[in-house]
Amino acid sequence: MFGEAGWAGFAMEGVARRAGVGKASLYLRWSNKEALLADALTEGLPKISDVDTGTLHGDLVELATQMLDIYSGPSSRAALRLSLEAGAIPGIAEHYQATRTAQILAARAIVRRGIGRGELPETASVTLLLNTLMGGAMMHALTTPPEKRAALAKDTAPHARRLVDFLMHSVTAGAGA
């Protein structure tokens, strides 16, 4: 519901109606819509997490797959709304910022491990590499035609591999020269 209507349209009554329960049932568990949304986002949104497959390529494919899963799956609209509206929602802004910080640190750790293992040149920009990877994954998910989104959401790994192959070739080309 938050993904469809945003914060302004997110209401306990509407959530109760959609869930087929009375509004009082919601208030037994959540004191307000901020608490309900915080729990829904914590439980319902896929996460970006640190992975260690043993290779930078494998780690980046997992990272891109996670990003594609977020923005091509059923929670994509909620994830987008959250990135736009979190700062204006009491109690959600801090939670969202903490989650984003943890995700950024996890992604940066993946690239730093790759540099440490010699899989990337020490001069590689961690920020630029991640911006390119994450932005590429997100934009692919968002620009996939509606009739092809279900197929993408069902199997995001092939595109993640193509994206990482392209990025790694671009970053490492000429590194040995």
CA distance 127 to 144: 25
pLDDT at 165 over 80: yes
Residue 6: pLDDT over 80: yes
CA distances from 9 to 13, 15, 33, 41, 157 (A): 11, 10, 11, 16, 34
For the cut 90, the answer to whether the pLDDT of residue 120 exceeds it is yes
**Is 13 a residue whose pLDDT tops 70?**
yes
Look over the chain and give the mean of its residue pLDDT values, rounded to a whole number: 90
48-172: in CATH 2.160.10.10: no
Tens of pLDDT, residue by residue over 76-90, are 899 899 889 988 888
Fold: same for 1-44 and 48-172: no
Give the mean pLDDT of 105-112: 93
Q: Helix 92-116 and helix 126-143: axis angle, to 10°? A: 120
pLDDT over 60 at 97, yes or no? yes
Average pLDDT over residues 164-175: 86
Largest interatomic CA distance in the chain: 68
Domain boundaries, the chain: 1-44, 48-172
Residue 175: what pLDDT?
A: 61
Q: What is residue 130's predicted lDDT score, i.e. its pLDDT? A: 94
Query: How many angstroms separate the CA atoms of 44 and 88, rounded?
Result: 20
Percent of the chain whose predicted confidence (pLDDT) is above 70 = 98
Query: pLDDT, tens digit, for every residue of 55-83?
Result: 999 999 999 999 999 899 888 899 899 88
CATH of 1-44, picked from 1.10.3720, 1.10.10, 2.30.30, 2.40.10, is 1.10.10
Task: Tell me the mean pLDDT in the region 111-127.
Answer: 93
Residues 29-53 pLDDT 10s: 999 999 999 888 888 777 788 899 9
Q: Is the dihedral of CA 64, 66, 72, 77 positive or negative?
A: negative
